Amino acid sequence: MLTLTPVRPVLAIAVLAVLSAAASLSPDPRGAAAEAATPGKATVKIANFDFGPATITVPAGTSVTWTNNDDDAHSVVADSKAFRSAPLDTGESYSFTFATPGTYAYHCGLHPQMHGKVVVTR
Amino acid sequence: MTNDTNHRPADAGRRDAMKCMAWAGAGVLWTIGGGVASSVLATAADAATRKAGSLDFVQISDTHIGFDKAANPDTLGTMREAIGKIKAMPVKPSFIIHTGDLTHLSKPDEFDTVAQMMKDLNVPVFYTPGEHDTLDEGNGKLFLQHFGKGSWGTGWRSFDVSGVHFIGLVNVVNLNPDGQGHLGPEQIAWLAKDVAHLPSSTPIVVYAHMPLFDAYVPWGWGTIDAQQALMPLRRFGSVTVLNGHIHQVITKTEGNISFHTTRSTAYPQAAAGTPGASPGPLKVPADQLRHVLGVRDITRLHGRGALALVDETLA
């Protein structure tokens, strides 16, 4: 499930440097897009029994935050059991920092028909 | 008229064998005997027979203590009304089966509240957990501490009352991404062994939280290994399966096995597969709420060898 490719440190630093340079140097006229691209952070909304977006792609080191907008409780559980949130009541959030590149499939521990995926790049 | 909302054409033939009718204005009476479900005209004589029934018990489900959102801000109040309904029944049930989602978030005070409220009924209560009861750090340890006495594994058990064999199963622990409830090989092996010595004429009642039939798989309303688990029960003349989870009454028969989901005492959910809906709490107009919440009374009729199920709403 997890792709545990060893990261070459020099390349990783170079990629991060390019990413942060891009974030700080290019003034983005679309404010929302600039916010969504905040380095190190990403969000997933839980609404109407769906994870949105169902798949997100983030660089390693990103902290992903799930927020439950439903009236029912949900949870976030990695298929591999690598992470598991407490139950999230309405309005509650859970964050997990993805240090290692790979594809992380997850589901809701209460409603296992709800699926999502975090793709972590170098 | 019909409460069978399982509208898949493939089942039409089987469903045609089952007719139902309002009983005493309060519910629907089903009888299940010899593997065939059929309706019974409820007459005064039937009521008398029912009074003298050799076995009478109640199914309560999905009390969701701790839930307080728009669909029902007072789940404590509606559970209290459900308990009042049970107390007012003409025949005092000899025990209660709670088919899960006692609590909303598996919190210690929620479990305590449920235990405290059920004590009011003064009869034994057998609980099986729902997925909302296994959200603690220990994946259901808290539930077992409160209600697991005399059970095996994650809380499964069996017992005999008045010649009927009862089997409580657990299909909500460590749910997999396969999207449905599951029982697991250990529990399935236990079940096969549990019924191995019983004569095929023994009436069987199985209860579990999630449906042990495909009520609506896209919403997770099923149990992935139920068919395998129920295999050893195929030889019995009468098997009645009681489930919760979907907060509505759906009935289905497969050969000798009849499946019955029941209402919640907390909030309703959309009918299976309603376009644009999700399987979450459904808000209905306040004056309608008690019409879609309820409990179920089950009686074994004397001399008939049949079980009668009466679904009663809080209204």
| pLDDT tens track for A11-35 | 444 444 444 434 444 444 443 343 4
In chain A, residues with a C-beta closer than 8 Å to the C-beta of B104 are 73, 89
Chain B residue with minimum CA distance to A70? B280
Nearest CA in chain B to A115: B177
Q: Answer whether A112 sits within 8 Å of B135, measured CB to CB.
A: no
pLDDT at B222: 98
Q: Which residues contact A108 (CB under 8 A, 6 or more apart)?
A: A46, A51, A74, A75, A76, A77, A114
CB contact under 8 A, B280 and A86: no
Measured between CA atoms, the residue of chain A closest to residue B69 is A71
- A23, burial (CB in 10 Å: exposed 0-12, middle 13-18, buried 19+): middle
CA distance B154 to chain A (A): 16
Task: List the single residue in A50, A90, A112 with the smallest CB-CB distance to B175.
Answer: A112
Contact predicate B118/B125, CB 8 Å = yes
SS3 B139: coil
What per-residue confidence (pLDDT) applies to A72? 97
Interface predicted TM-score of the whole assembly (ipTM), two decimals: 0.82
**Average pLDDT of the residues in A41-63:** 97
Chain A residues near residue B217 by CB distance under 8 angstroms: 113
The interface residues of chain B toward chain A in range 206-245, judged by CB-CB distance below 8 A, are 217-220
Residues of B in contact with A86 (CB under 8 A): 135
Which residues of chain B register pLDDT less than 50?
A: 1-45, 48
Whether chain A has a CB inside 8 Å of the CB on B26: the answer is: no
Please answer yes or no on whether B132 and A107 come within 8 Å at the CB atom. Answer: no
Chosen for mutation from B131, B182, B214, B283 (greatest number of chain A CBs closer than 10 Å) is B131
Residue of A nearest to B280 (CA): A72
Chain A nearest CA to B175, separation (Å): 6
pLDDT digits (tens, 9 = 90+) for B89-120: 999 999 999 999 999 999 999 999 999 999 99
Q: Where are the alpha helices (DSSP H) in chain B?
A: 12-16, 44-51, 75-87, 108-119, 141-147, 185-195, 226-230
Contacts of residue A83 in chain B, CB cutoff 8 Å?
A: none
What's residue B2's pLDDT?
Answer: 36
A47 part of contact set with chain B, CB < 8 Å? no
How far is Cα B118 from Cα A60, in angstroms, rounded to an integer?
50
Q: Is B71 on the interface with A (CB under 8 A)?
A: yes
Out of B135, B219, B280, the one facing A113 most closely (by C-beta) is: B219
Cα separations in angstroms, B4 against A53, B157, B199, B275:
36, 29, 31, 18
Distance from CA of A117 to the nearest CA of B (A): 12
For residue B45, the model assigns a pLDDT of 46
DSSP B202: S
B215 by DSSP, 3-state: which? coil
Residue A48 touches chain B, beta carbons under 8 Å: yes
Q: Looking at residues A83-103, what average pLDDT do you find? A: 97
pLDDT of residue B16: 32
The pair phi, psi for residue B61, each rounded to 5°, is -155, 155
pLDDT at B301: 73
C-alpha distance from A112 to closest chain B C-alpha (Å): 4
Q: Can you give the pLDDT at residue B5?
A: 36
A14 HSE (CA, 13 A, CB side): 5
Residues of A with Cβ-Cβ distance to B218 under 8 angstroms? 113
pTM of the model: 0.83
Residue A35 class from Cβ within 10 Å (0-12 exposed, 13-18 middle, 19+ buried)? exposed
**Residue A39 forms contact with B (CB below 8 Å):** no
Which of B132, B135, B176 is facing A112, going by the closest CB pair? Answer: B176
| Cβ <8 Å between A75 and B69 | no
Question: What letter would DSSP give residue B217?
Answer: G
Is pLDDT above 90 for A82?
yes
Q: For position B174, what pLDDT does the model report?
A: 87
Q: Which site among A45, A94, A110, A115 would you substitute to test the B interface, given the most B Cβ atoms closer than 10 Å to its Cβ?
A: A110
What pairs with residue B53 in β-bridges? none
Sheet holding A41-47, edge to edge: A50-52, A41-47, A62-68, A93-98
pLDDT at position A39: 77
**Token pair listed for A101:** 């590149």
